Structure 1
């Protein structure tokens, strides 16, 4: 259980934290609302216990949902719950229904924050297909109610794929991606919201800004071209809501001293990449150090960048650590027009954090 709990702690991703509204202060009074707030089914996947997950609750009666975990952490007197929207029992996984939005407005009176839990019900395989990544109209209506209360809104996304939140995101004070964290996701979220755990998760995909704007992080320069005027769903350039690898912390990290050295300048050589990472904030934290490479010129259009290595390190406040990666030069190869793996001479850019160095392969 502790392994599952730790996996949830380390994967939950803080996407937005406006004015450092999180973590919640001691004694905070919160309203928890949304169809994912009090469900163990949504915390798990469509194959965790039963196909589609519709009988998950039969197996997890001793585990805590999001609202239960927050009540356990903050105290029941400090946590109110109003459903707002529920997934329709016995219906298709995407079906939901409004549940007294007026009760949500009334429950918001006297609280300090609203924790808005939106996303998806569990699904898997072909039945999980859908026609649009937009959140349901009912969930969007609930979000608007939360916004109009004037209370700070913390959006918690419990979903297996990135649902479009662009119009809502700008109104949110904080956004967290819970993914499908399993039985201990509610507890892990409560720890993060209250500051007992410092978030360290990073996005494993590019979070799209619009429904039809699904461009991966390793897209090619040739895909950065303008589209027809008037199409609001297609941005003229790569412009995701959140980039691959994005994730915030309650502390800050600084990168310095990037160096790139080759054991030999040939396809048989290795690159040793070193960088120093410092925790410049006042909280202990963990950082995922990510190494990317870019092939500047190739016989086919190269990717903008490619993730080559990563390592998560833990740093106490005010400390630093040198991180070293060993990368085979042959890893810079690509598949050419005839389907062969080739490595071409030329300039490569190595990026780690905000640091950049070049390497010239002879």
Structure 2
């Protein structure tokens, strides 16, 4: 049997397996029949725009697929995967036409191997018109609600699969250690336990029905590893992370995801300790595969193999860059706009510099993923999956998750909730902007195109006008976030004299990746100036922050009566914000990061004791210490919760025993409410300098007005260990303290 009679071989296999269910053995036999060129093609991922005959240079939108270019990619280069980026959203019908066109060509080739399509569906289905957009991960982390995280992923999986797409480049499991980083909003914040817990729920939500089901997609944990802590704060720039910090802060979320069954992983575009991750055998093979036990497929990020040559300068030629990446452990290259990867890798294999066995291993992982996703069984878009798109329950989920994500940071004199019978002046660019509410990956890469949002989308001004009418609402904010008039107060003194409350909507417009790089976390000067002018009106003033990272507001926050951090709340964000402002929803969100007071003071809550030391100079002036604007876990409620009778079940425990925390939680108010409970552990002394505290557990408790409840929480040795530089777990005898807000108690661990 020749290599190119594989089509007949496959036909025989399919006949023997009546429903086209291909097993592992058949995949091995298929690989044996493939040429080097066909194998390398399976390892190649091309951007849809590269295959089009018409691309709008302004928005990157693919106007028409060039069938000849598509045939060349699949027939000549045997390309196994395609992705769409940088464009705007398509209808389901258009997605189905595109995917059918692709698979028609793929199934007409000798091997009939279907193409795997990958997409970024980061907080909902980014590139499908009418999809539901949920809060970004940074807001989702504020909910402290794993159930909602799972439900959002399940809904996103259904709408993605309904679009005909089966591989989602999500979740982001990078730990947000540097708030300057422009992808901070895509993280679950600064704590590894919080990231691990919510990240695994996303993976389960994407994959839990089984990849072949019409309600599931393959997840892609990203970006392994250390991407989110660049020294400069800029996207795709170098990080310097010790092995201890890597194990204690960055690896746990990926290990948890692997244990949860993540199918694929995408790699950090940058470098750690001067070693580009895409070229690191130590990180990709020794750590990810051998030590962490990842069995799935490894894909690069955008153009990151050739960048080993063009940016990182560790490869003298593009060909050498391909060899380095393949030797490191890469399975699939997101090339994405050329066939250079194919050409170089084919040459490397034929010259003997890369073994065919090495690429066989990658091809097998790719084909197994296609099999698991049901592509060999049904390669075309599944028409009956469309019934899972656009359900009302997704809108309800979007509203509920957005409400739960809101964090009330300040409420002087109980200015909130607002009365509903007053007059309100809305100021600031966020008051009338859809892109600000939704952020990046919202019907386009940057999310900043107002005209691509569904007609049913509502700005905050829209919701105010619906609920209160023009008689109660004054606002002259334009839809264009950057319009110069949005930073002025465009009303006369007489008009303003009738206003009871001023509500400022400040923060950031949408951005993604490198276009979001900034040099300073301080809020833009035009917004600071607007805030100061608003304060000078001498009205009760509320600040709503719509932002993907903590922009510093120290210049004026002292004179603000109420502050709500809304993050990037998604499709139903405007409704959620107004619900919280007027008390239709009692806020319960808590910060998933430390909100800095100064741009040069970016300590995370889990810093070392040394970082928090306060020193006194000879002139008696103190300096140093930990002084954020708001702490990790801060978040107020319209209810008054009181914790009392805090105690532990024992003063001393042995290593295999549990210890139970118990306390009374009372809602000492006339309003029903929900309290987020964060439980922290402090290790008093250890062989490696311990953090001041670490989050080990969180939960939510809902109480009726005046009600109380005993809360019991069990902890064990898994909450007490730490990692050394080799990734070994160390559990040491000694004293530990447990904290819930200001309540704490201490116990001793015997080994």
For 1:31, which of 403, 425, 431 is the aligned residue?
425
* Alignment partner, residue 62 of structure 1: 456
**Secondary structure of the corresponding residue to residue 429 of structure 2:** coil
Task: State the alpha-carbon separation in 2 of the partners of residues 263 and 226 from structure 1.
Answer: 31
For 1:2, which of 393, 396, 400 is the aligned residue?
396
For 1:250, which of 638, 649, 653 is the aligned residue?
638
For 2:469, which of 67, 70, 75 is the aligned residue?
75
Task: State the alpha-carbon separation in 1 of the partners of residues 398 and 555 from structure 2.
Answer: 33
Q: Deviation at 1:161?
A: 0.0
Q: Deviation at 1:54?
A: 2.1
* Alignment partner, residue 488 of structure 2: 101
Greater share of helix? 2
Deviation readout 1:39-59 (Å, 9 max, x if unpaired):
111110211221001225422
TM-score, with structure 2 as normaliser: 0.45
Residue 435 of structure 2 contacts residue 510 of structure 2 at CA under 8 Å; is this kept in 1?
A: yes
**Secondary structure of the corresponding residue to residue 160 of structure 1:** coil
Residue 285 of structure 1 contacts residue 316 of structure 1 at CA under 8 Å; is this kept in 2?
A: yes
Query: Per chain length, whose mean CA-contact separation is higher, i.e. which structure has more relative contact order (CA < 8 Å, sep 6+)?
Result: 1
Task: State the alpha-carbon separation in 2 of the partners of residues 40 and 85 from structure 1.
Answer: 8
Mean Cα displacement is larger for which, 321-330 or 98-107? 98-107
* Alignment partner, residue 158 of structure 1: 546
Q: Does 1:139 align with 2:139?
A: no
* Alignment partner, residue 79 of structure 2: none
Q: Deviation at 1:256?
A: 1.5
Q: Superposition pairs for residues 251-270 of structure 1, below 5 Å?
A: 251-261=639-649, 265-270=653-658
Residue 253 of structure 1 contacts residue 279 of structure 1 at CA under 8 Å; is this kept in 2?
A: yes
For 1:290, which of 678, 689, 701 is the aligned residue?
678
**Secondary structure of the corresponding residue to residue 535 of structure 2:** helix
For 2:446, which of 45, 49, 52 is the aligned residue?
52
Query: Which ranges of structure 1 fall in alignment gaps of 5 or more residues?
Result: 89-95
Q: Superposition pairs for residues 289-308 of structure 1, below 5 Å?
A: 289-308=677-696
* Alignment partner, residue 329 of structure 1: 717
Task: State the alpha-carbon separation in 1 of the partners of residues 635 and 464 from structure 2.
Answer: 22
Task: State the alpha-carbon separation in 2 of the partners of residues 77 and 150 from structure 1.
Answer: 21
Query: Which ranges of structure 2 fall in alignment gaps of 5 or more residues?
Result: 1-394
Q: Does 1:314 align with 2:708?
A: no
Q: Superposition pairs for residues 108-187 of structure 1, below 5 Å?
A: 108-187=496-575
Residue 294 of structure 1 contacts residue 349 of structure 1 at CA under 8 Å; is this kept in 2?
A: yes
Residue 680 of structure 2 contacts residue 694 of structure 2 at CA under 8 Å; is this kept in 1?
A: yes
Residue 608 of structure 2 contacts residue 691 of structure 2 at CA under 8 Å; is this kept in 1?
A: yes
**Secondary structure of the corresponding residue to residue 324 of structure 1:** strand
TM-aligned CA distance change 1:48 to 1:264, over 3 Å: farther
TM-aligned CA distance change 1:135 to 1:227, over 3 Å: farther
Task: State the alpha-carbon separation in 1 of the partners of residues 614 and 646 from structure 2.
Answer: 35
Residue 616 of structure 2 contacts residue 623 of structure 2 at CA under 8 Å; is this kept in 1?
A: no
Question: Who wins on radius of gyration, i.e. which is larger?
Answer: 2
* Alignment partner, residue 143 of structure 2: none
Aligned length: 351
TM-aligned CA distance change 1:305 to 1:82, over 3 Å: same
CA RMSD of aligned residues (A): 2.3
**Secondary structure of the corresponding residue to residue 688 of structure 2:** coil
Deviation readout 1:163-206 (Å, 9 max, x if unpaired):
00011110101010000000111111111111111111101101
Q: Does 1:18 align with 2:416?
A: no
Residue 32 of structure 1 contacts residue 80 of structure 1 at CA under 8 Å; is this kept in 2?
A: yes
Q: Deviation at 1:97?
A: 2.9
Residue 73 of structure 1 contacts residue 190 of structure 1 at CA under 8 Å; is this kept in 2?
A: no
Greater share of strand? 1
